[in-house]
Chain A
Amino acid sequence: MSANLLKESGPREVFCGLTSIVWLHRRMPDAFFLVVGSRTCAHLIQSAAGVMIFAEPRFGTAILSERDLAGLADAHDELDRVARELLMRRPEIRTLFLVGSCPSEVIKLDLARAAERLNEELQGRVRVVNYSGSGIETTFTQGEDGALAALVPLLPASESRQLLLVGTLADAVEDRLIHLFSKLGIESVRSLPPRQSSELPPVGSGTTVLLTQPFLTETARLLRDRGATVLKAPFPLGAEGSRRWMEAAAANFQCPEASVRAVLDPLEARARIALAPHREVLAGKRIFLLPESQLELPLARFLHRECGMDLVEVGVPYLNREQMAEELALLPDGTTVVEGQHVERQLDRVRAGHPDLVVCGMGLANPLEAEGITTKWSIELVFSPIHGIDQAGDLAELFSRPLHRRQLIHSALHPQASDHPVHA
């Protein structure tokens, strides 16, 4: 590992873990996410997901009031009342996530005990679990780590041999991967999170875990505690990463090497064909990734090794060196990896570095575009089917699209000065 690992601190421009609700509520439609926090928390979720029109709400916020803060109202009684009303209105909810926020963590509201109490009262009709999505403790995708970690103790115990894919996958990707694993001879493949919160996969010493996402530090630890083996592998982004990821499972299940090659070789050859047109756009282009989701390292690895991009700087909000060891080993020597952020200084480096593409959050994307810097907004990567060998072309397209678009429309919109930046 010869990447240049740096740390930076200062103002950060990232989401808090509450944002995980925006995709988790779709993965498990029978679950409800009740944030215990302030109006700010409610506003965050509503702003992020409220553009969709919900006939049935899938998330909500129990907003702390002055009475709760002053201790005038017993916050626990209030929370019980809100949860009870909610479950009365939505009797089809099977799992209720009580999600902690900055205010609830700062005043040390004990949501774990509240979940316990509600569980007793509801007697199995609805399962109540809790995790923290607060900004002071979690960044963006770490919210999913919290949610999954909260489910781990509820997983039934089983010693039988199985492969467990951990981390949210798009439905089609999940189906495809399960199909491919069965071709390798791995018959029992389950997923966490499941599609229905009530259909939790079992876990035990026969369980082999493949992490599909790089941000599952705590979930992985808890699964290990329950006897599962967590495989070390690069993450399944791009043809190479996905192949190594699948091979790690194949080795663990002692699938014959020849049959693994027979299944994966044609997929990889096809992926190269799919990647070719995007590689044409991306090769030699310089990319700068700002910290957001912890997906940055595997993405940088894919974009460099399979798309030929040059890495200016790879920012990560948090670096679990052990879990990322395989990824770091695949990065080119001397890659600048910055853990943490001082957003103003990082933007100075962006401007000075003249990258061709900047991967950043939506708070920065349009302002950078207006300065004439092409961006790829990073949130889309957690909402898109990007995992697996077959998705390598689609993943590359997410990065070639903004460059392609600029080339497509720029001269038409600025006929006189086509190199003039677009001002919004």
Chain B
Amino acid sequence: MHGVHYVLHAPQGDTYADLLFTMIERRGQRPPVTYTTFQARDLGGDTAELVKRHVQEAADRFQPDALLVGESCTAELIQDQPGALAQGMGLPMPVVTLELPAYSKKENWGASETFYQLMRGLLKQSVPPQPTHDVQAWKHEGRRPRVNLLGPSLLGFRCRDDVLEVQRLLSLHGIDVGVVAPLGAGVEDILRLPQADLNVCLYPEVAESSCSWLHRNFGIPFSKTVPIGMGATHDFLVEVHALLGMAPPEAAEGYQRSRMPWYSESVDSTYLTGKRVFIFGDGTHAIAAARICSEELGFTVVGLGSYSREMARPVRAAAKKLGLEALICDDYLAVEAAMAEAAPELVLGTQMERHSAKRLGIPCAVISTPMHVQDVPARLSPQMGWEGANVIFDAWVHPLMMGLEEHLIGMFRHDFEFVDGHQSHLGHAGGAGADNNHGTESVRASGCQDEAPSGQLVWTADGEAELKKIPFFVRGKVRRNAESYARTVGCKEISSETLYDAKAHFKA
């Protein structure tokens, strides 16, 4: 946002957060944040006086239109009540106090709560006694319908380009964008929020509580479909049109405006069918990815999870539709164990899943925050809308082995250059999956998964040899299937014959 300054009561060192904006988002301005940066020697003195001095200095120097005041995790322990102190200083601008419990809540909650408190603080005087919103107002006033885009922020996943893409998408349907917030908005924009006919909730993790407050108090409805993927973008357009009282859009629009459907239908993509994929991320992106994978790319989703507890219910519902149990957790070791157990051929996750995927030797693409600097690219790269689907097709298929190479490695395993696990289109010698088995074994040895280890089962030499002939990216799954088959039929040894039996049994 602009014109909003934040005074954060925090110890020296917490200014590292500036780097998220100046380096990862590569911004050319300092974040509008004043840190009190107290040190150990200040704890003996008057830290409350320190807060007041910094609030005054920030107000004088930056003269913001509104001031946010909050605490970091350490300041929360010493309880100086910086918000109350600032409220009592008689500053000329609105002061919003933030209560963000650092030991029980996390980043997205903080963003959502801050946006909500700021908006509520600025708008509560203008709340009408009765919500008087009329979705048809644009018709009577003879103008194009106008929507707010709520949720996009810095350090969100591809928000910059998602906003552009959604704006373009809506404008093609004769819909104007009023306010985009919080990204790029100022206090005057927040005050204009009630003038829209509809709120578009692009990132529920950040904007759902604000959208629902605007709905309760001003009667403005909000859209609930997040337009990531072909089907979701279509559903989003249908929802927005219905909420605005407009005739539904063409069903074939996506096919005309995006290359993704044809790329996915073309024969080059046939080998993508049934590729096993493991999905983890924030709720919004994980749910969107699951739908794209299963309905639009023809993958088999073998694992779906999220770290967003507030999105647990919809993620569970999406998983259930795919016959899966959703993994709701923020423990990366548990995610890694689930990933190893599912033995996928592709992982769609966050920056953290890249670590686990590297360890397990599985191709991986990033679909959600947390992210690092490479996911704030210079090029246009939305996830939403028709162009977003194009970007997604390229990004998710890229880490997989190309079709011809996959066939040839399945046929001839004695090459000196194109060895097992090698992916020559990624341009390096050692294959990403070269240590596939090694990685899986070491997870197993450390006891992170596999309730009943394969202790009693013995692989015969010829069984192992046969297993080696399986292309590397499905080998993990075949090994598991063979072991589970052997256990089912009660055989203690796994030979090449057992492997074929298991294959016939599981049709895989």
Contacts and interface: CB of A to CB of B under 8 A. Distances in A.
B102 interface: yes
Interface stretch (B14-22, B137-145, B218-226, B248-256): B14-22
Given A38-B74, A106-B78, A366 B13 contact: no
Interface in A405-424: 422-424
A298 to B, nearest CB: 23
B16 A39 contact: no
Interface stretch (A45-53, A172-180, A197-205, A207-215): A45-53
A362 B22 contact: yes
Interface residues of B, number: 53
Interface string B267-279: 0000000000000
A138 to B, nearest CB: 8
Contact of A106 (B37, B54, B57, B77): B77
A39 B103 CA distance: 8
B26 A14 contact: no
Interface stretch (A26-34, A64-72, A159-167, A249-257): A64-72
Contacts of B40: 105, 134, 136-137
B414 interface: no
Contacts of A54: 355, 358
B112 interface: no
A424 B28 CA distance: 5
Given A69-B77, A69-B103, A14 B13 contact: yes
A136 B19 contact: no
Nearest to B443: A89
Contacts of B77: 69, 103, 106-107
Contact of B73 (A40, A46, A370): A40
B156 interface: no
B106 interface: yes
B12 interface: yes
A363 B103 contact: no
A315 interface: no
Contacts of B370: 46, 50
A353 interface: no
A77 interface: no
Nearest to A69: B103
A39 B333 contact: no
Nearest to B351: A50
B38 interface: yes
Contact of A39 (B13, B18, B20, B73): B73
Contacts of B379: none
A366 B448 CA distance: 43
Given A14-B13, A44-B16, A369-B28, A106 B74 contact: yes
A281 interface: no
B104 interface: yes
B104 A16 contact: no
A53 B36 CA distance: 33
B407 interface: no
Given A16-B13, A136-B74, A366 B34 contact: no
Interface in A3-41: 11-19, 38-40
Interface string A128-139: 000000111101
A41 B297 CA distance: 39
Given A53-B354, A424-B28, A11 B37 contact: yes
Interface residues of A, number: 53
A364 B101 CA distance: 29
Contacts of A266: none
Interface in A77-116: 88-89, 91, 102-103, 105-107
Contacts of B28: 366-367, 369-370, 422-424
Interface in A353-400: 361-367, 369-370
Interface in B1-54: 11-16, 18-20, 22-24, 26-30, 34-40, 42-43, 54
Nearest to A317: B12
Contacts of B104: 65-66
A364 B30 contact: yes
B22 A16 contact: no
Chain B CB within 10 A, most for which of A14, A19, A55: A55
Contacts of A105: 40
Given A106-B77, A135-B13, A367 B27 contact: yes
B373 interface: yes
B87 to A, nearest CB: 21
A322 interface: no
B359 interface: yes
A46 to B, nearest CB: 7
Contacts of B73: 38-40, 102-103
B125 interface: no
B37 A12 contact: yes
Interface in B57-100: 57, 61, 72-74, 77-78
Interface in B322-340: 333
Contacts of A57: 355
B35 A11 contact: yes
A135 B18 contact: no
A19 B13 CA distance: 9
B11 A55 contact: no
20 contacts: A11-B34, A13-B37, A16-B14, A39-B73, A47-B19, A47-B20, A48-B16, A48-B19, A50-B351, A51-B373, A54-B355, A55-B439, A66-B104, A69-B77, A89-B446, A102-B74, A106-B77, A344-B61, A363-B16, A366-B26
- 8 A-B pairs with least C-beta separation: A135-B13, A16-B13, A424-B28, A370-B28, A363-B18, A38-B73, A102-B74, A55-B359
Given A11-B34, A139-B13, 7 more contacts: A88-B446, A106-B43, A135-B11, A135-B14, A136-B40, A364-B30, A366-B27
